[in-house]
Amino acid sequence: MKDLIQYLTEVDDETVLEKRLKVLLTPNEISEMVSRLKIIALLDEGVPQRDIAKQLGVGIATVTRGSRALKELKEI
């Protein structure tokens, strides 16, 4: 994990960072990450989980995982 973090954070150029992510991840993986970021942002805004699932077209279990991840982030 340390090598991955270093690889992604050693660049200051957004274009280079985007290229690095595209090298490491499939388009589907990138899409899933974007969806997870949206879930976390909406949860942080206080949007109910069922509303998020409906709005983003994802399962409630996916939103629940996002909720747990957000709780972990806030504990750091």
By C-alpha distance, which of 41, 35, 28 is closest to 62?
Answer: 35
**Residue 43: how many CB atoms within 10 A of its CB?**
19
By C-alpha distance, which of 16, 4, 15, 73 is closest to 44?
Answer: 73
For the entire predicted model, the pTM comes to 0.82
Mean pLDDT within 60-76: 92
CA angle (65 as vertex; 45, 42 as ends), nearest 5: 15
Place of tokens 């960072």: 17
Write the pLDDT tens digit of every residue in 13-38.
999 999 999 999 999 999 999 999 99
Task: Please give the share of the chain, as a percent, with pLDDT higher than 90.
Answer: 95
